[in-house]
Structure 1
Amino acid sequence: MDLHYEIKGNGKPVILLHSGAMDSRDWEFITPHLSKSFKVITPDVRGAGKSPVPNEPIDYVEDLRKLLDHLKIKKAALVGHSLGGQIATDFTLTYPKKVSQLVLVAPGLSGFKFSSEHAELESRVSKAAPDVEKMASIILSEPSWSVSFGKVYDLLREMMVHNIQKTFDWKTFKTSSNSAMERLGEIKTKTLFIIGEKDSEDLFKIAKLYKEIPNIDFVRIPDANHIITLSHPKDVSNHINHFLNLLEW
């Protein structure tokens, strides 16, 4: 297994999948809470954190399957934030018997077409390259990504600068093609969806699409935006912990 990962705690396995432009430190304030009750695994997805850069098209789903096989885990709860939520959804559709419960924190959705405003933001970030600091500043100026200065801001910016810089070494940006958008109704796994009330319009459009999952509960966190895992870790941890303890595995 060439992906970097860390394990903390004991008990039922819970995989935490981080957001794009971030790495496993996305869960730095949440892992201590969940690891009191569960075996928490926090990988860096390919191209992020301490994991290797992609040399061929990325297959996040198969990377996750290989990680579970490597750890000899037959079934786990998946918790995904943003890109991590998209990966968790795609994985659940591909390997439903390997997923005990699904927690989606402001998730992405494969097949979803983002707004022109989102495309304009991406364009401004790309035009700032190779000035990594400026690229990070543009993202952090966007309301759904902004956080108050302090410990959370410093950690978020450190992750973002590191992972943007790392993309300059990627050999390819292609990913395996998935489109979960038309298949959400196939997910039978008990699912929890968490979103901050101040997240972007695109993310709320995605939230409406996830209502197609038959067995899904929704939670909205007041005064939280897309960086909910760092800005509101106690709220997120409490909801995840309660949800994971609801069902026997």
Structure 2
Amino acid sequence: MDLYYEVNGNGQPVVLLTGGADVRNWTFVAPLLAKHYKVVAFDGRGTGKSPSPLEDVNQVEDLLLLLDHLGINQATLIGHSMGGQIATEFALNYPERVSKLILLAPGLSGFTYSKEFEENIKRIHEAAPDINKMVDLLLGDPSYRVLTMSPHRDLMVQMLRHHMGRMFEWPAVKLIWPQPPAIERLGELSAKTLLIIGKEDSPDNLRVANYFRKHSNAQITEIPGADHMINLTHPEKLYHQITDFMKE
């Protein structure tokens, strides 16, 4: 197994998945969960301390390889942002390996994002290779307005700078997602699912949450005063939501 991972605590396995960041995304949540569970946090391929990809990246299959490597037959998946998209895809394709599914402001494959979202992503890409400008543009998005006023802004900036720098190392590879996309299969989710989202998140991410509400059996919880980075700004509240759900 060439992916970087950390394991802390004992008990029922919980795997933490993130997208455009690294294990520092769980700086405040992982130690709380490790009081009661065996917590696995890892850097996806090409992020954090994991190696850059040499070929097209299938993050669902990477997760399967990690679970097999650690001898984990079944785990609760907790996925944030694109990590939530990976967790959803994994739960649809390997339902027997997922005990419960917890999604924090998840992405969703096949979802049509707004013109404003696409234009913002384009502006960020056009700012390359100026990493500082790219970070400023990303954090200027309204979905980060709570974070940017918090003491944790510097940690987010460090993660983003590192992540964007790593992306420049990547060869010309693609992310591979299972087909058909998850948006067409949400009704097939068999794992008991909790989706948590900050009420101050972006309209697009709130629409994704609403799509889960309408097309799956997911339990939806909204956290007042939180944005997309609820894991950094509201870890205690998130911890209690997660553990209450795990005990059900």
Question: TM-score of the superposition, structure 1-length normalised?
Answer: 0.95
Cα–Cα, structure 1 residues 233 and 10, in superposed 2: closer, same or farther, change >3 Å? same
Unaligned segments of structure 2, at least 5 residues: none
Match of 1:206 in 2: 208
Can you list the C-alpha shifts for 1:61-113, whole angstroms capped at 9, x where unaligned?
A: 10000000000000000000010000000000110000000000000001112
Deviation beyond 6 Å, 4+ runs, structure 1 = none
Matches within 5 A, 1:39-188: 39-146=38-145, 147-149=147-149, 151-178=151-178, 179-188=181-190
Query: Does structure 1 conserve the Cα–Cα contact (< 8 Å) formed by 2:92 and 2:189?
Result: yes
Structure having the larger proportion of residues in helix: 2
- Alignment partner of 1:235 out of 237, 243, 247: 237
- The alignment yields a C-alpha RMSD, in angstroms, of 1.2
Deviations 1:208-248 (A, max 9, x none): 221255432111000111011101111111101111122xx
Name whichever of 101-110 and 20-29 sits farther off. 20-29
Verify the 8 A CA contact 1:49 1:162 in the aligned structure 2: yes
In structure 2, the residue corresponding to 1:103 is in which secondary structure? strand
User: Structure 2 matches for 1:31-42, cutoff 5 A?
Assistant: 31-42=30-41
Q: Identity of paired residues, percent?
A: 47
Aligned residues: 245
Kindly tell me: are residues 212 and 150 of structure 1, through their superposed partners in 2, closer, same or farther at Cα, counting changes over 3 Å? closer
User: Which residue of the partner structure matches residue 15 of structure 2?
Assistant: 15
